[in-house]
Structure 1
Amino acid sequence: MKLFSFAFAAVLSLASFAGGAFAQSGNTLTIQLKDGPVVIQLMPEVAPKHVAQIEALAKKGAYDNVAFHRVIEGFMAQTGDVKFGNMEKGFDASRAGTGGSDLPDLPAEFSKTPFVRGTVGMARSQDPNSANSQFFIMFADGSFLNGQYTVVGKVVSGMENVDKIKRGEGQNGEVSNPDRMIKVTVGSK
């Protein structure tokens, strides 16, 4: 009976570790901006395919030096065009925001997770199944996006650095001489 009790206690201890601190550390994306780091808690339970693609691109360094090509005051900052947005390799301001990556586009993973300040969502064309590498960070709540775009994460620290990203001009928020993601890494918080 003592052996059973010890084994049961060990299993409970392991289960609480897995469900506690270890599980909460989760997947994070750290974006180094000119004003400091931004840590994003990724949500693979909400959008597993999109999170996996973001992590794969970040691990390859594809997001490093990619511009925030579209930034709209009171709305969001968009980045992630690894094809035309890399400010050190082939940056094309006229095409930034129209590219993706060499990986395939993804089927939508819409959820009930709301778009609020700090939410990270995937950018796409009119086709709901066209998200690839681009994503945006919300400056403010945007309930009109709920159920229309895939949520992949939320900013858990450094939102004050997101707030300092250079804003764009005009209705579409195009940015001349844009800020960039200096370095993007994947890890545990």
Structure 2
Amino acid sequence: MKQLLSVFLIGITAFILGGCVNQSVTPQLDLDNTKVQPISFASPTPTLSASSAPLSSPTSGTAPVTNPETATVVTNKGSFVIELYPDETPTTVENFVQKANTNYYKGLTFHRVEDWVVQGGDPKGNGTGGGSMSTELSQRAFAIGSVGVARGQDIKISNDSQFFVCTKDCSWLTGQYTNFGMVTKGMDVVMKLEVGDTISSVSVE
């Protein structure tokens, strides 16, 4: 009887200890099965689309104008003046200014002209060129003369060279595209622009 009791107690002890050991096991993260998906840039298809390349910082080189207020765009049809919004869209304005100061836009065309918008600044001239930068959204309304930045399907990423000017009320674009300026002079020139017209220069003051 004592022998059976001893065997029984030994069995109970082993069972309890085994249970404790099993409860202390910590699950291990299987790193081999943890995959990081690369960021991809979708092909541009939406309205005011532009190609998406890896994000780029404003071009280095000529020092940007401090707190720029206006940019004058000279075209083969005449010139127009853009009031810039550096306080609301600092990165976009800095990028635009640096491109202007390095003659990036010289010779580029307006590749898209519709009854409500004029778009240009594409180095390829067909809406697929240029790099990418972060979108700077605001609630400033897009109206006649508003100057915005083209982008692809990802609202967070905009093109770093293509810009557009609204020739009609474009309030439906508000909060969807970067609004970095307003044409204050020469809107009549903008209205005359056609596909293939060229930019002679962009100067900033």
Q: Which residue does 2:130 correspond to in 1?
A: 100
Alignment of 1:61-140 (within 5 A): 61-73=103-115, 75-82=116-123, 84-85=124-125, 96-101=126-131, 105-128=132-155, 129-140=157-168
Q: Which runs of 5+ in 1 are unaligned?
A: 1-24, 86-95, 167-174
Question: What is the CA-CA distance between 1:26 and the residue it aligns to?
Answer: 4.5
Q: Distance in 2 between matches of 1:35 and 1:69?
A: 15
Larger radius of gyration: 2
Runs of 4+ in 1 over 6 A off after TM superposition: none
Q: Indicate whether 1:182 and 2:200 are aligned.
A: yes
Task: Report the alpha carbon displacement of residue 28 of structure 1 after superposing the two structures with TM.
Answer: 1.2
Q: Give, as a single letter, the amino acid of the residue that structure 2 aligns with 1:145.
A: L
CA RMSD for the aligned pairs?
Answer: 1.4
TM-superposition CA deviations, 1:99-141 (whole Å, max 9, x none): 105xxx2211110110100000000111121321110001010
Provide the C-alpha distance between the structure 2 equivalents of 1:32 and 1:133, rounded to a whole number of angstroms: 16
Identity of counterpart residues, as a percentage? Answer: 40
Cα distance in structure 1, aligned partners of 2:198 and 2:141:
26
List gaps (5 residues or longer) in structure 2. 1-66
* Matched residue SS, 1:156: strand
> Aligned equivalents of 2:134 and 2:78: distance in 1?
33
When normalised by structure 2's length, the TM-score is: 0.64
Letter matched to residue 122 of structure 1: V
1:145 to 173, 180, 183: 173
**Corresponding position of 1:172:** none
**Greater strand share, structure number:** 2
Whether 2:83 is the aligned partner of 1:41: answer yes
- The whole-number CA distance in structure 2 between the counterparts of 1:63 and 1:42 is 17
Alignment partner of 2:184: what SS? strand
Distance across 1 between alignment mates of 2:98 and 2:162: 13
